[in-house]
Amino acid sequence: MTRPHEDLQRHTPADHRPGGVPVTFAPGAWCAIDVVHTKAERVDAGISAYETLIEKARSSPLGVRVAAVLRSVNDRRVIAMVDIEGHAAFHHLQSSWDNHHLVAQRDDVAESSTLGLYRVAASTGDAAIDPESKDAYAFEHVALAPERVSALAAAAAKAHGFRGVVVFGADDDKGSIIVYHFGHAVDLDTFRASAEAQRILGPVRADGETISAVHPVRTFG
């Protein structure tokens, strides 16, 4: 069997297996989230590598329940989300992934990679990640404590086109990740630009570095 960093060079789009069942991350669940900034022409290799890494994790005693791989609409990010049992499982996963991680091929695939441990702080509505959905999804990382960001869930639920939202709080309480699910991208953009969302999170940066429109590629459940 090849190793994941070798797979980065060997995978092609034909090797991808998009799809899967809708998955949700339950309130209080621990989740390892890795965000990779990649060259657009290498995004498919990054997705394939994470499929391999997640499949290996699911066959190990790490307590992986569900997982998802997302890609940004601009093909510059790959996001892996893995439901795990907690701190000990995260450290084992981190060690395993570091051994054959995308940063080993930084010049060819990844410009940067950030793996962190998060816990679901809030979830409202239909927060399922569904590769078959035609709805609009977005992924945002903010340097705010989850207690503050959790207020966003109630505000989003009142927005036009709202489907669901899930807030993940960083283990050190110094950052949060939000996954939005709206019926249409324009409704999602309108909500994120609203006074209420900006009061909680601050304005969207002009360079788009805080929030990315994403598509679920593959789920494991």
103 falls in which pLDDT band (50, 70, 90)? very low
State the average pLDDT over residues 86-100. Answer: 84
Positions of E strands within 5-128? 30-38, 67-72, 77-84, 110-125
State the average pLDDT over residues 138-166. Answer: 94
The contacts of residue 147 (CB under 8 Å, 6+ apart) are: 121, 169, 173
214 torsion bin: left (phi>0), alpha (psi -120 to 50), beta (else) = beta
Assign 3-state DSSP to the chain and report helix, strand, coil percentages, each to 5.
30, 35, 35
DSSP 129: B
Per DSSP, the three-state class of 199 is: helix
pLDDT exceeds cutoff 80 at 112: no
Looking at the domain that runs over 4-220, which CATH code has it been given?
A: 3.30.70.100
Q: Is 38 in contact with 78 (CB distance < 8 Å)?
A: yes
Residue from 156, 136, 159 nearest 201 by CA: 156
Between residues 101 and 71, the one the model is more confident about? 71
pLDDT exceeds cutoff 80 at 7: no
Give percent of the chain with pLDDT exceeding 70.
84
The domain locations on the chain are: 4-220
Quick one: how far is CA 188 from the chain centroid?
A: 17
pLDDT exceeds cutoff 50 at 132: yes
